[in-house]
Amino acid sequence: MTQPSAQQLYVSDMTDDEIELLKKLEEANRRIEYDTKSPVNTTQNPLANLRSPESYHEQLRQDSVSSDLSNVTTDSDANLENEWIIWNKIINNWSIYIKKKPQWIKDMIRANVPIHFRPLVWQCLAKVNTSTAREKYIDYMKMTSSCEKIIRRDISRTYPEHEFFKEKHGIGQERLFNVIKAYSLFDREVGYCQGIGFIVGLLLMHMPEEEAFAVLVSIMQDFSMRDMYKPDMFCLCLCMYQLECMIQEFLPDLYRHFQTENFNTSMYASSWFLTLFTTQFPLNIVSHVMDLFLSEGIEIIFRIAIALLEIHQNELMVLSMEDMLKVCIIY
């Protein structure tokens, strides 16, 4: 079976600009993954880059030929139907595939997850089936959080143009409030930070409250996102330092320009990490970023950040600090 590319899947749901951006993000993702000098890769997994891109794709082609999927046709006209068949098999046999063919699953996720399977894929990646968070959620609904007032204040600022969340005290805003409140009770050290709302909102666009809460707990606990929101913000500062090192390595001209303009990394990139880009991209791409984050972890946020800066490098190089800040905020 030949694996479809990201731009071949569900392009009817994306604009040409979104498809082109996905292509560029994936190209940068691949390049950084295989660069042995990447600060992210070398500090977290020094063995991750021993394979060349060529050997990686050769192995991927071998992995993608699975005996129980060998009778799936590869005609381009049947591509959509094939994807549904494949993803249905993956979901129904998740524990087997993720154990025996993790690289193939990773690449399938990179190619894009069909929207109808996305809620289940996110829950599988977050290991919701082994979590007790859903049961706890019911109890949290009966409790009062000290953060309720500030959560209420910020609700209307979360996806204000989205139909599901725009109505004051509507079903979307109430579900958003419930899940955020529940987490503030679950993790009293972190409590509530505004960036959490955008992550919760994205989850609620795809699944009910209980499942959204369980995935959120996994994102915060298992993927260490809660460390970003701690009062001392040490982890966020560390990420800013790592990203700055990557910019110096991969985009040296842009790094020097940033230094000349006193354009600090935290000025533009903090929200990228705190919200997983949910405030920067169209929802189609935001959803795919969440696919990648749950599959590959925080490294993907670094790679997307570098890809964005690379795409806009020529534009940024002629801007002052004030103008660059405006540009980076709207990415």
Q: Using H for helix, E for strand and C for coil, what is the string for the chain?
A: CCCCCHHHCCHHHCCHHHHHHHHHHHHHHHHHHCCCCCHHHHHHCCCCCCCCHHHHHHHHHHHCCCHHHCCCCCCHHHHHHHHHHHHHHHHHCHHHHHHHCHHHHHHHHHHCCCCCCHHHHHHHHCCHHHCCHHHHHHHHCCCCCCCHHHHHHHHCCCCCCCCCCCCCCCHHHHHHHHHHHHHHHHCCCCCCCHHHHHHHHHHHCCCCHHHHHHHHHHHHHCCCCHHHHCCCCHHHHHHHHHHHHHHHHHCHHHHHHHHHCCCCHHHHHHHHHHHCCCCCCCHHHHHHHHHHHHHHCCHHHHHHHHHHHHHCHHHHCCCCHHHHHHHHHCC
pLDDT of residue 327: 77
Residue 248 and residue 201 share a domain: no
Domain-embedded: residue 305: yes
Pick the last residue of a domain from 200, 221, 242: 221
pLDDT of residue 38: 52
Residue 325 and residue 292 share a domain: yes
Residue 251 and residue 321 share a domain: yes
User: For the whole prediction, is pTM greater than 0.75?
Assistant: yes
Residue 244 and residue 166 share a domain: no
Domain-embedded: residue 216: yes
pLDDT of residue 35: 61
Residue 271 and residue 193 share a domain: no
Pick the last residue of a domain from 221, 253, 269: 221
Residue 325 and residue 237 share a domain: yes
Domain-embedded: residue 177: yes
User: Which CATH number does the domain housing residue 314 bear?
Assistant: 1.10.472.80
- Provide the domain count of the chain: 2
Domain-embedded: residue 35: no
pLDDT of residue 75: 53
- What pLDDT tens digit does each residue of the chain (331 aa) get? 333 333 333 444 566 666 777 777 777 666 666 664 455 554 443 333 333 333 434 444 344 434 445 444 445 445 666 888 899 999 999 999 999 999 999 999 998 899 999 999 999 999 999 889 999 999 999 999 999 999 999 999 999 999 999 999 999 999 999 999 999 999 999 999 988 999 999 999 999 999 999 999 999 999 989 999 998 889 999 999 999 999 999 999 999 999 999 999 999 999 999 999 998 888 989 999 999 999 999 999 999 999 999 988 999 999 999 998 887 755 5
Residue 266 and residue 247 share a domain: yes
Residue 168 and residue 237 share a domain: no
Domain-embedded: residue 273: yes
Residue 246 and residue 306 share a domain: yes
Domain-embedded: residue 163: yes
Residue 240 and residue 180 share a domain: no
Pick the last residue of a domain from 221, 241, 266: 221
Residue-range definition of the domain harbouring residue 201: 129-221
Domain-embedded: residue 252: yes
User: Which CATH number does the domain housing residue 150 bear?
Assistant: 1.10.8.270
Domain-embedded: residue 213: yes
